[in-house]
Amino acid sequence: MKILVTGSDGFIGGHVVLRLKEQGHEIVPFDIRSGGDILDRNAVDAAIADGVQVVYHIAAQADLTKVKSFEDAYLCTELNVTGTHNVAFACAKHKVWLVYASTCCVYGNQETHPEYEDSTLPKPAELYAATKLAGEEVIKGYGLNFGMAWTILRFATIYGPGMREALATHVFFDQAYKGADITVHGTGEQDRTLTFIEDLVDGIVRTHEHPESQGHVINLTASEPISANKMAEDIKRVVESPSQIVHVTDRPRQTYHEEFSVEKARALLGGWYAKTEWEEGLRKTAQWLESEKGYTKDW
């Protein structure tokens, strides 16, 4: 198939491109770092019009910690809503299946768990999640009005080789390798269903192989919640670091508990589930940091 991937140079997009190429697909990369701007409506349209059959729309302002000013807020909303609108418009116009990378952050803080795609009312806790939810609704709207095929994938927190430096997992590893204090926000009892990148990519690339996933929102996430305290403790142990774990001011608009149903992923994506155990994922990540990023134990 001819598949366009937005955000093709990023953490998730880069892994998706590699996996799709391994499967023999023709890939059209589209990333701001290589001249592909999702805010350029004409460029998006031209790229999708050229025989593309599926679009994996992964490009976004993905770092919610960056939204600290009005300028940050404007850019986040423009990229995640207007950029997604441009992609959806072109996909609808050219009758291309759109697979959208959303986030489990759209659920926010819920009173009951787990969160289900079709019955849990989203309750974003900050602007980033609100913009991703808005993108979902734009896509659904084009599907309703113009029969555009779509699938929405909600990702939880992803870690592993190639991960962004802003992610807590990377921050904790960086601090542990330096022997510096590992800084945990608040009580550290907040948890995340941390999902190893290889598992996520497996779920993503299964999507175009399963047309029964069209018209569905699907959670792609590991099942085991890992607290920030456990994350810090386990990373310290894996690195064999002398770092101390210290607690700092809690992050504003924090989500405190993650627990998501993955029943639809199993049913619609060929039995997909996150196979990598937390300990295995940590050790693979440490190996990447040492072999590819040059991390050494600085004590």
Is there a domain that residue 251 lies in?
Answer: no
Is there a domain that residue 180 lies in?
Answer: no
Is there a domain that residue 166 lies in?
Answer: no
Q: What is the pLDDT of residues 156-181, one digit of tens each?
A: 999 999 999 989 999 999 999 999 99
Q: Is 30 helix (H, G, I), strand (E, B) or coil?
A: strand
Give the separation between CA 97 and CA 3, rounded to whole angstroms.
Answer: 10
CA 31 vs CA 28, 97, 207, 235: distances in Å: 10, 19, 21, 32
CA 201 vs CA 9, 131, 175, 204, 286: distances in Å: 14, 23, 27, 5, 19
Domain range spanning residue 149?
2-157+193-222+257-275
Is there a domain that residue 144 lies in?
Answer: yes
Q: Is the pLDDT of residue 254 over 90?
A: no
Is there a domain that residue 230 lies in?
Answer: no
Is there a domain that residue 238 lies in?
Answer: no
- CATH of residue 35's domain is 3.40.50.720
| % of residues, the chain, pLDDT over 90 | 94
For the chain, the domain total comes to 1
Is there a domain that residue 140 lies in?
Answer: yes
Per the model's pLDDT, the better-predicted residue between 268 and 251 turns out to be 268
Residues 9, 62: contact at Cβ < 8 Å? no
Q: Is the pLDDT of residue 141 over 90?
A: yes
Is there a domain that residue 146 lies in?
Answer: yes
Give the separation between CA 218 and CA 234, rounded to whole angstroms.
Answer: 29
Q: Is the pLDDT of residue 72 over 80?
A: yes
The b-or-e profile of 125-134 (16+ CB within 10 A means b, else e) is bbbbbbbbbb
pTM given for the model: 0.96
